Structure 1
Amino acid sequence: MDIKILGPFAASMHEVSVLPSAAKPRQVLALLALHADRMVTVPTLMEELWGEAIPRSAATTLQTYILQLRRRIGEATCGRQAGREPKDVLLTRHGGYLLQVQPGQLDIQDFEQYAEDGRAACDAGRDEKGSELLRKALDTWRGQALVDVPVGGVLELEVLRLEEGRMATLERRIGADMRLGRHAELIPELTVLAAKYPMHENFCAQLMAALHGSGSSWRALEAYQRLRGTLVDELGLEPSRRLRNLHQAVLAGDQDLVTSSRGSALEAARAG
């Protein structure tokens, strides 16, 4: 089964969609896919579908959703995969259900593998390779995860986890590009990110370092003031000590911000 979660939800077998149109069966399939090859317990599935207001008919209704999913799997595999029944793809386990997928069939797994390999390459000082792998990880995303699936409390946390992973990978890839001296190339991307996430200190720090490294220190100072103004107005907080150190380093014309071979802009500023 080929499954795509990092964007609009898609699930198919032999190029035939097995994605149900009804909301709750889609939620069930999405949660099973997020935990592919691991059992999802019946209570977890019920919590996702109904929250705290679990009806008395929940167990029977859930079984109906599982049967609907197996029916769609059966229709997609009919005459194409002899000896493999729908119940061999969507398995019943004691206390729950498990969706089996093959390597390379789930975009989340591709993302996590590329991200892990990219992180390892950067940690080993191989920033060129790290940047390449981290870009591949980010390229697996086609938009907001499960953007067309109504999410309950369980899926909401899973989507948040995925988004945090994407953001961390993006920061790491920009950090690798920064260490490779690609400051001018990064400015347009970082300008958009800083505007989209006006209270995200690390994007602001990376933008400041890129601008400073490109000879636009005054624009780096403007970026700091914009973030500071937003933090003060929205939260009543000053920027972190690390970002204040970065601000002072730009004022002092410290080029170590952009020539440091390791760490993010905020980490470079920590020693300031």
Structure 2
Amino acid sequence: MHTYVMQLRRLIGAATSATGERVDPKDVLRRDGGGYLLDAGPGRFDVAEYDRLAAEGHKAAQANDCLAAHARITAALNMWRGPAFADVQTGPRLSAEVTRLEESRKMLLERRIEIDLRLGWHHQVLGELAGLTTEHPSHEGLQALYIIALYRCGQRTRALAQCDQLRARMADEFGLDPLPAMAALRQAILVNDPALEDDTVWPLFVRRGRELQAKHVGVLP
């Protein structure tokens, strides 16, 4: 145990020296009762820093500060270097944390692309969305953002084809129809609805889809 602690402290010292910090490794990995405690301090755990940046990005998006939201969310996503805990043997508790982080990453990526569309950067995200929708063919949120980006880039026929492919895939693989918002989105493309240029275009069609569904079943949205 003492050998492992000594090696870890050496690695901690090298890592902090590389960043110009003056930190005593014995204060970071210190004795605590009958064992040792890792006390890295604020801003040094990547998971905590990722969660902080993600929360700030969501807050900025809710305040309609798109540039700040894009900066914070991009900074959070840039902290990823591969799968969560890729080199760690995981048990039940850590597996749950892996699932949380991976789902958070996917959701945050979708939010960042939505922000980019609100900023009018549809040309910049089109290629990224093409790859993501190929990787996640049944993820309706990403598919919707791709369809919107295609439409805004003047590719209306491809946008409609993407709608139809998603509907066929959902029916064949799951026996389901797409979300009502997708039907509202497809109809808007057919008539060149000006709402497709709205800053909050996908949330707008989510609301429209709920309204259409409510009318169909005869209940309030």
- TM-score tier after normalising by the smaller chain length: 0.7 to 0.9
The match for 1:173 is: 112
The match for 1:250 is: 189
What is the alpha-carbon distance in structure 2 between the residues aligned to residue 172 and residue 236 of structure 1?
28
What is the alpha-carbon distance in structure 2 between the residues aligned to residue 215 and residue 270 of structure 1?
23
1:117 is displaced (CA, Å) by 1.3
Q: After superposition, what is the alpha-carbon deviation per residue over 1:123-146, rounded to whole angstroms, capped at 9, x for unaligned?
A: 111101211111111000001111
1:270 aligns with 2:209: no
What is the alpha-carbon distance in structure 2 between the residues aligned to residue 105 and residue 243 of structure 1?
42
The match for 1:261 is: 199
1:72 aligns with 2:4: yes
The match for 1:123 is: 62
1:105 is displaced (CA, Å) by 1.5
Please give the secondary structure, in 2, of the residue aligned with 1:147. Answer: coil
1:71 is displaced (CA, Å) by 4.4
The match for 2:151 is: 212
CA distance change for structure 1 residues 206 and 85 in 2, over 3 Å: closer, same or farther? closer
Please give the secondary structure, in 2, of the residue aligned with 1:215. Answer: coil
Q: Which consecutive residues of structure 2, in runs of 5 or more, have no partner in the other structure?
A: 14-23, 209-221
The match for 1:38 is: none
Q: State whether residues 117 and 130 of structure 1, in contact with CA within 8 Å, keep that contact through their aligned partners in structure 2.
A: yes
**Aligned partner of 1:108 among 32, 47, 52:** 47
Using CA pairs under 8 Å that are at least 6 residues apart, name the structure with larger relative contact order, 1 or 2. Answer: 1
The match for 2:139 is: 200
What is the alpha-carbon distance in structure 1 between the residues aligned to residue 195 and residue 36 of structure 2?
54
**Aligned partner of 1:224 among 156, 163, 173:** 163
CA distance change for structure 1 residues 92 and 177 in 2, over 3 Å: closer, same or farther? farther
1:113 is displaced (CA, Å) by 1.4
**Aligned partner of 2:76 among 137, 143, 153:** 137
Please give the secondary structure, in 2, of the residue aligned with 1:101. Answer: coil
More helix, by proportion: 2
**Aligned partner of 2:90 among 136, 146, 151:** 151
What is the alpha-carbon distance in structure 2 between the residues aligned to residue 82 and residue 238 of structure 1?
57
CA distance change for structure 1 residues 101 and 210 in 2, over 3 Å: closer, same or farther? same
What is the alpha-carbon distance in structure 1 between the residues aligned to residue 151 and residue 47 of structure 2?
36
What is the alpha-carbon distance in structure 2 between the residues aligned to residue 216 and residue 179 of structure 1?
18
* 1:105 maps to amino acid: R
Please give the secondary structure, in 1, of the residue aligned with 2:40. Answer: coil
CA distance change for structure 1 residues 253 and 148 in 2, over 3 Å: closer, same or farther? same
Q: State whether residues 71 and 86 of structure 1, in contact with CA within 8 Å, keep that contact through their aligned partners in structure 2.
A: no
Q: After superposition, what is the alpha-carbon deviation per residue over 1:169-189, rounded to whole angstroms, capped at 9, x for unaligned?
A: 111111111011111111101
The match for 2:127 is: 188
Identical amino acids, percent of aligned pairs = 33
Instruction: Name the Cα RMSD after superposition.
Output: 2.4
Q: After superposition, what is the alpha-carbon deviation per residue over 1:85-120, rounded to whole angstroms, capped at 9, x for unaligned?
A: 8553xx469xx9964321222111221111111111
Q: State whether residues 114 and 145 of structure 2, in contact with CA within 8 Å, keep that contact through their aligned partners in structure 1.
A: yes
